[in-house]
Amino acid sequence: MKKIGIIICDRYHTCAGGKCLRSLRNREGAFALYKNEEVELVGYTTCGGCPGGNVEYAPEEMKKNGAEVIHLATGLIVGYPPCPRLRAFTEFIPVKYRLNVVAGTHPVPQKYFLTHRKLGTWESTASQELIRHVITDEETRLAYD
């Protein structure tokens, strides 16, 4: 069984996790990585707000609960502006806690996809690498609008 933790952007601190949990249940977006595995969610929290101070501590708690992977929620990718510290988080957590990190949870909703495409947000190779697990087909993106 794969045990995961989710860290969301504090801008969305009132989020009930509906899209993340739905995509986990349906193995969509970044959770398609576990298509043939049992998964247990062992932690869910915010980054703590800019500059993401909770990212320094939350993975430790999740690891104590058995987490093997930390997912940085799709909101960190699609919010405007996207989280400027996302790359730092993806580098810090594996070094500090020896946990794998995946950028993204649920598929990018179509409305965000269209806006960021117009803005050119994800044109760089580095950005393409970060979003690769959550850019899906249009039908799936529309289902997450």
Q: How many domains does the chain have?
A: 1
Task: Specify whether the CB–CB gap between 55 and 47 falls below 8 A.
Answer: yes
Number of H helices, E strands in the chain: 7, 4
- Parent domain of 63: 2-143
Of 46, 53, 58, residue with least CA distance to 13: 46
CATH assignment of the domain containing 91: 3.40.50
pLDDT digit string, tens, across residues 41-84: 999 999 999 999 999 999 999 999 999 999 999 999 998 889 99
Q: What is the mean pLDDT of the chain?
A: 95
pLDDT of res. 9: 96
| pLDDT of res. 98 | 97
